[in-house]
Structure 1
């Protein structure tokens, strides 16, 4: 998603949010106002998920691209803010059983999601290191594209070395996604070096030590993204009729937000390099809810993509990662040429791949930083709303 698309989607979100608030205020007091809030929340969820489904079907960016992930996180922030407003409005009911237990259960799952946000942020740093090598390849080969001269042997050597370094780095990151490694590091709230500084790590021969690290102090070397997803999705079941009645309808929005949280975290783990990636989590939502078809379609598309043979060993299902893996493999075969000057057909193929890599680098340069900011914002929003929920009983008593 381009910057203007992100702004447009955020504006749409604010419009939906404001409309729901206005609608609830105009519906009168008591039950009518409460019903308007509940219906408004479900409508907001449906509109966000339908929008994501339409974007996934589009031929442009498509499912699990950087642009689509940014749209997903924008949607999650909007849904979470709508959910937070609903809980604050229904403070007395939220502070009493059985709603208090349902809300506490949601925030327990949300706190577990913070580790996935941290791991995804680390995956973004890994992608920045990839981009640094890709830019070397592009810089080595692009000058020849503007002039009439052919690609020289020196240019090919520089590109070949950068591709070899990238291949080692990608292999290490892929292994980090399939096996746990022992690292502890900083939290979102701690300052530290950027991805660019990581790219300048000391050179070694042979196999490099995996650069993966989780950014949460609470995550040990045995932490697993797959197990964390399973924990978030554990015992997640749609409320039954008596549960809905006993909670004045609040069981449905809590269940809805649980499902949206799980899907968002599942999408991050699927797309971005994470420690011990895996999507083996039960995900099934009640078909009676208006947003169920959209989220089911998206989940099935992601699982289907993960089962494709050529993607099983990928570091992540992010569209740009798959493009990098395909393009660099093709380019690595082309730069093995030993005869110079290169044949015209080989030069054209190499320049086409260099142009494609340049486009991927631009997409990553424009999209990774905003994506990281969104992850930070999700982290802060969850922590803030969790604190509010803990303080809610005291405010209600006053």
Structure 2
């Protein structure tokens, strides 16, 4: 070691200013990591919503079981990221901040209402299963010498479509006030899509947090983003399954986010596209693409069987094959969606419990210690 004047040289003393600079640098680094975590969450929400937009070669529109499967998958993915923020990243302790309390209360209220939409969607899918069974019976009956059986099977299927439309029309006209008639409508609602009188309430518009995500309100805007994804998912699920009333009106869009949020423009665009597609299909007995294909094939098979004179076996067989293929496509999309709706139901319950658990932990941590 170098010596000067016969004495060892000592390193410069560590003064208080250096300690403060190091501490300040660590705080800034933590704040930057926190901002990056929240920015990644908002970007993830935007990416999943962008993937839902239909492309030029999309075979199905936004009113299809295929789209609903992708939508629920996007919701589950966003919920995973939100739970990661609260648990793995340790931001659950910020939920009790004054800037986040309103957003948290809104999310908790919205989860309860969403469970009603999931239940109604499950009933609607069960009624679609009923249509599928009737169509599958008609397709399998289309063999030589069974024209009468085919006609009866298809007539029963088409009558179910008509009864479904009639049940929805009566249910939305306010006639459910009579006890005997409302009971009849509930029965029809289980075998049709869902009668208008039994439509669950779709969550209303969200309250946008004050401030900005970069102004220290990151947790409030993260909760708001999750509430928005949940509200949009339930609105789309209700529009496609529960509110299947071709003569009615689409519930108003529940999300009107600020444009500076990364995912805002994509969500607004999806809502506008769904509203346009609803208006273009208004008046149809069914709006789901898979159900419309089923209805078209059933009518085609009926026309082939009832053709003047003796129907050609080749025409009947061809239309029966088309109906059978429509049944297979419906089943391929229906079974996974039924499982997804159940998973979303349980996930919403679990996420709500996690938020409440974080709030309870924060409350206990902030409580003054009990004196001995």
Q: What TM-score does the superposition give when structure 2 sets the normalisation length?
A: 0.76
Contact 2:65 2:334 survives alignment (8 Å): yes
SS in structure 2 opposite 1:353? Answer: helix
Of 126-135 and 80-89, the range deviating more from structure 2: 80-89
* Matched residue, 2:324: 358
Could you tell me how far 1:210 is from its partner in structure 2? 4.5
Could you tell me how far 1:338 is from its partner in structure 2? 4.9
Q: 1:330 to 1:221 in 2, by over 3 A?
A: closer
C-alpha distance in 1, partners of 2:186/2:214? 56
Contact 1:77 1:378 survives alignment (8 Å): yes
Q: What TM-score does the superposition give when structure 1 sets the normalisation length?
A: 0.71
Could you tell me how far 1:326 is from its partner in structure 2? 2.6
Contact 2:164 2:189 survives alignment (8 Å): yes
Matching of residue 392 in structure 1 with residue 362 in structure 2: no
* Matched residue, 1:118: 119
Match of residue 166, structure 1, among 157, 160, 173:
157
C-alpha distance in 1, partners of 2:294/2:33? 51
RMSD: 3.2
Matching of residue 224 in structure 1 with residue 215 in structure 2: no
Count of aligned positions: 322
Could you tell me how far 1:392 is from its partner in structure 2? 1.7
Is there any run of 5+ residues in structure 1 with no aligned partner, and where?
1-26, 144-151, 183-206, 215-219
SS in structure 2 opposite 1:72? Answer: helix
Could you tell me how far 1:126 is from its partner in structure 2? 0.8
Is there any run of 5+ residues in structure 2 with no aligned partner, and where?
1-26, 177-183, 366-372
C-alpha distance in 2, partners of 1:161/1:364? 22
Matching of residue 77 in structure 1 with residue 76 in structure 2: yes
Match of residue 251, structure 2, among 274, 280, 284:
280
Contact 1:130 1:166 survives alignment (8 Å): yes
C-alpha distance in 2, partners of 1:137/1:237? 50
1:25-104 to 2 correspondences below 5 Å = 30-54=30-54, 57-88=56-87, 89-104=90-105
C-alpha distance in 1, partners of 2:153/2:185? 15
C-alpha distance in 2, partners of 1:31/1:375? 38
SS in structure 1 opposite 2:250? Answer: coil
Contact 2:95 2:104 survives alignment (8 Å): yes
* Matched residue, 1:375: 341
**1:49-87: CA deviations, max 9, x gaps?**
111114x54333443322221111111001112122223
